[in-house]
Chains A and B, each alone.
Chain A
Amino acid sequence: MSFFISSVAKKLLTMENISKSFPGVHALKSVHFDLVPGEVHALVGENGAGKSTLMKILSGIYTKDSGEILYNGESIDLTNTREAQDMGICIIHQELNMMNHLTVAQNMFIGKESTKGFFLDDAADNRQAADMLARLGMQSIDPKELVANLTVGRMQMVEIAKALTYNSRILILDEPTAALSDQEIEYLFGIIRELKEEGVAMIYISHRMDEIWEISDRITVLRDGEYVGTVVTADVTQGEVIQMMVGRTIFVETKSESSVPEGAETVLEVRNLNAGRMVQDVSFDLKRGEILCIAGLMGAGRTETVRALFGADKKDSGEIYVEGQLVKIDSPADAARVGLSYLSEDRKRYGLATSMSVAANSVMACLENFMKGPFVDQKRINKVAEEYVEKLETRTPSIRQLVQNLSGGNQQKVVIAKWLIKNANIFIFDEPTRGIDVGAKNEIYKLIHELAADGKSIIVISSELPEVLRLADRIVVMAEGRVTGILPAGSSQEEIMTLAHDI
């Protein structure tokens, strides 16, 4: 694939010396980026490295402060998304932006509906949508279906089909696989390869190194808003790229044996838990200071299990013992009372009031302990919030900072602080590092290890096997709503995958 860097290949796009500042932040400093037709160009960097900003400039959402964009050899200036789309530059955002109440075809042709005089010609759009979907091998999607009724994977496909209705020459895919199953990812890659054949250039933003090596031709690395370099994927190793991203070497080790002392007491015991189709007869226990990972494929029932355990969803039957005592958990409040805490993967939705401060969020779960008569004791709240910011090394300018302004990893820390202040003993993490960059991931791993070393007990649901192997003292593997095996630390990926496929 080295022909891509030879000067023979005509550049489709060159972005030169692109700079962009926001109040208080220099988001991009003289960044370079280029594309040739038919290539998949991965754009990587930690959160805050400037990937999104650069892509928003290319798709007309932001305007650059300085620099030049050459498209087909001509200098262009984009001021809105419409202009970019008209030129064939289209972005598919990580958080899918769809109109759920409209049909597939209506979504695809929004802004350019076929009309017959004053009236919409839905039949024509449905026909065109069907053609477009068929071209991508997605005949199974009905153009007349409401988008709300599609799976996330199919919504993604519709977004791609929609982008193609603009006759896109450049397609920007921002974390396209974040919400997809393995099967759907394979399918997506098939489509990407097909588009490549047609000469569409794609910019692929992802945290997942394996995918980048599978699909991309070149990689451009950004760090702290600066251009680090562009490499040909086939010529470099993942380690080298990660090193470019973080500017330091990250040593990835796996846990070879359990670090839980022998004879540690059992703090949580789940017996024959049943909750619908996705949780059948699930039993496991958790020791003090243990990190128990729950592994499995998509739809294995892992999240459903912990939600039922935590009282967030209804249980059909089953017993839960906390420190030897049979407890009744019918609601998250019950769970919190016996020392359980649940840190869901969607932190914004379930874990944090993002428009409130770090301090306010820190005491959210136990405000009643921070009262002076009928009044909120802000002094004590600030003190405890400061204490935990320090303890967890949360990177925030102050405890008055709004949580929405923190990075994903630091938001995670605020949730953890909240539960520590509430005096939780058992932490359930659901995909704690999803959507978090490599550097912040390591901090989360360190934090989880420290919590465990501190005598807290931890359950981690993870879809990333390296993460499981790195964290787990024991591994519960689930498939189709059942526990198919419990493995010790130091098990191999193959052993886990075998059990995960056991149906």
Chain B
Amino acid sequence: MSSKETSTAVAKPRLKSGQQRLFALIALIAIYVIFAAFGNRFFTYRTFMNILEQSYYIGFLAVGVTFIIITGGIDLSLGTVMMCSAMVGLVSFGAGVPFVLALIITLLVGVLFGVLNGVLVSYLKLPAFIATMGSMMIALGLSAIVSKVQTRHFPSRTAEVGSWFQNVFRSVNMDGTVIPTGAFWLVGLIVIAVIVLNKTRIGRYTFAVGSNEEAVRLSGVAVEKWKLIPYIIAGFCTGMAGIMYGATYTTIIPQTGQGEELNAIAAVVIGGTSLSGGIGSITGTVIGVFIMSVLQVGLMSMNVQPHYQKVLTGIIVIMAVFIDIRQHKKR
């Protein structure tokens, strides 16, 4: 006699991964429609370009950190590493390094920070929160040291060297029409990220580790390696974000960037990726990114101070996490 009552009898809530993403998409459309109706000249090509540009660097940060968050990890160093890598690139440019090489250096710094974070978390088994907080501080200090606390600038469209930079990474102005070249990069990243996350081993293990790391280990998989890779991906994206940020705003101020990681994480969470790991999507993250930038641009078009945007973003994040928890609550 050995019947069992509790575990099999209780009907489990079925996991629905796409549901929150759908909510987010509806929310994005709703917000857009509201601003189009009530905002001042919101529904224009110009404003749309503005929204796109707001999304470039945050998009790169958010797509990268989506990988980390699906493994159940977190990265608090994104914002400062983005600024630090841009700064290191600019300083080397200033020191006579060819501009293209300076951009590659920018990317490399991002990747190196990703490797650092990943090794700390996966091989040395540090909690991701603490390890990446340490990296955040290192990046913050490093950008001040290499720049000697001097603000630096990426080349503008009229610069002698690198005048192509903004054309390639931000937009081309042709006969008064703006072609958002930055968006091509972002779309390219999104396509690659979607493929990597859903169609390759990297993606499979990213989900698997976030779902049940011990099970993956017991299946004979080298977990450490697969936990490291998402941090490197995020590091690469962060370096790219540094370039995108430079193209959009040109000015890099040392010791900044703090808080951008939280914007990126907020976008990821709004898009339905679970902070407890195992669930998430790139498309959700992209929707989250656009919710944030539409809010930002939209509120500006209604002449609302940016502080209100922060409050609203906070409320949306809390709502998103609330929905996430409600959906995946056990019993």
Cα distance, A113 to B199, chains bound together (Å): 11
Contacts of A146 in B (CB 8 A): 14-15
Q: Which of A113, A148, A149, A182 contacts B204 (CB 8 A)?
A: A113
Which residue of B3, B6, B210 has the most chain A CB atoms within 10 A of its CB atom? Answer: B3
Residue of A nearest to B274 (CB): A101
Whole-angstrom distance between the Cβ of A176 and the nearest chain B Cβ: 12
Whole-angstrom distance between the Cβ of A147 and the nearest chain B Cβ: 9
Q: Identify which of A91-99, A266-274, A406-414 touches chain B.
A: A91-99
Contacts of B203 in A (CB 8 A): 120
Contacts of A106 in B (CB 8 A): 204, 208
Q: What is the interface size of chain B, counting residues whose CB is below 8 A from a CB of the partner?
A: 34
- Do B4 and A179 have beta carbons less than 8 Å apart? yes
Which residue of B208, B216, B218 has the most chain A CB atoms within 10 A of its CB atom? Answer: B218
Question: Is A22 in the interface zone, CB < 8 Å from B?
Answer: no
- Do B200 and A100 have beta carbons less than 8 Å apart? no
How many chain A residues sit at the interface, stated as a range, is 35 or more
Contacts of B279 in A (CB 8 A): 101
Whole-angstrom distance between the Cβ of A276 and the nearest chain B Cβ: 10
- Do A181 and B3 have beta carbons less than 8 Å apart? yes
Question: Is B201 in the interface zone, CB < 8 Å from A?
Answer: yes
Contacts of B1 in A (CB 8 A): 182, 463-466, 493, 497
Cα distance, A177 to B3, chains bound together (Å): 10
Q: In chain B, residues 212-267, which have Cβ atoms closer than 8 Å to a Cβ of chain A?
A: 212, 214-221
Question: Is A231 in the interface zone, CB < 8 Å from B?
Answer: no
Total A-B pairs in contact (CB under 8 Å)? 134
- Do B8 and A179 have beta carbons less than 8 Å apart? yes
- Do A120 and B218 have beta carbons less than 8 Å apart? no
Question: Is B159 in the interface zone, CB < 8 Å from A?
Answer: no
Residue of A nearest to B279 (CB): A101
Question: Is A278 in the interface zone, CB < 8 Å from B?
Answer: yes
- Do B220 and A80 have beta carbons less than 8 Å apart? yes
Question: Is A381 in the interface zone, CB < 8 Å from B?
Answer: no
Cα distance, A384 to B2, chains bound together (Å): 37
Whole-angstrom distance between the Cβ of B163 and the nearest chain A Cβ: 37
Contacts of B6 in A (CB 8 A): 303, 345, 430
Once A81-B218, A97-B214, A99-B212 are accepted as A-B contacts, the answer to whether A152 and B7 lie under 8 Å apart by CB is yes
Mark B188-204 against chain A: 1 for CB-CB distance below 8 A, else 0. 00000001000111011
Whole-angstrom distance between the Cβ of A304 and the nearest chain B Cβ: 8
Question: Is B9 in the interface zone, CB < 8 Å from A?
Answer: yes
Contacts of A61 in B (CB 8 A): 218
- Do A102 and B2 have beta carbons less than 8 Å apart? no
Question: Is B41 in the interface zone, CB < 8 Å from A?
Answer: no
Question: Is A15 in the interface zone, CB < 8 Å from B?
Answer: no
- Do A464 and B2 have beta carbons less than 8 Å apart? yes
Question: Is B309 in the interface zone, CB < 8 Å from A?
Answer: no
Contacts of B155 in A (CB 8 A): none
- Do B220 and A85 have beta carbons less than 8 Å apart? yes
Question: Is B169 in the interface zone, CB < 8 Å from A?
Answer: no
Residue of B nearest to A159 (CB): B215
Which residue of B8, B195, B278 has the most chain A CB atoms within 10 A of its CB atom? Answer: B8
Once A100-B278, A106-B204 are accepted as A-B contacts, the answer to whether A297 and B7 lie under 8 Å apart by CB is no
Mark A207-238 against chain B: 1 for CB-CB distance below 8 A, else 0. 01011000000000000000000000000000
Question: Is B12 in the interface zone, CB < 8 Å from A?
Answer: yes
Once A115-B201, A118-B200, A120-B201 are accepted as A-B contacts, the answer to whether A298 and B5 lie under 8 Å apart by CB is yes
Question: Is B211 in the interface zone, CB < 8 Å from A?
Answer: yes
Question: Is A300 in the interface zone, CB < 8 Å from B?
Answer: yes
- Do A98 and B212 have beta carbons less than 8 Å apart? yes
- Do B278 and A110 have beta carbons less than 8 Å apart? no
Contacts of A110 in B (CB 8 A): 204, 208, 215-216, 219, 221
Cα distance, A146 to B8, chains bound together (Å): 16
Contacts of B216 in A (CB 8 A): 99, 110-111
Q: Contact residues of B with A, CB < 8 Å?
A: 1-9, 12, 14-15, 17, 195, 199-201, 203-204, 207-208, 210-212, 214-221, 278-279
The 7 closest A-B pairs by CB, nearest first: A82-B220, A97-B215, A101-B278, A99-B211, A298-B3, A299-B9, A101-B211
21 of the cross-chain contacts (CB-CB < 8 Å) are A61-B218, A81-B218, A97-B218, A97-B219, A100-B15, A102-B207, A110-B215, A120-B200, A149-B12, A149-B14, A152-B4, A179-B4, A179-B8, A278-B9, A297-B3, A297-B5, A298-B3, A298-B5, A300-B5, A430-B6, A463-B4
Q: Contact residues of A with B, CB < 8 Å?
A: 61, 80-82, 85-86, 91, 93, 97-102, 106-107, 110-111, 113, 115, 118-120, 146, 148-149, 151-153, 162, 177, 179-182, 184-185, 208, 210-211, 278, 296-304, 345, 430, 461, 463-466, 493, 497
Sample of 11 further A-B pairs with CB below 8 A, known A110-B221, A111-B221 = A91-B218, A99-B212, A102-B207, A102-B208, A111-B219, A151-B7, A152-B7, A210-B2, A300-B5, A302-B5, A463-B5
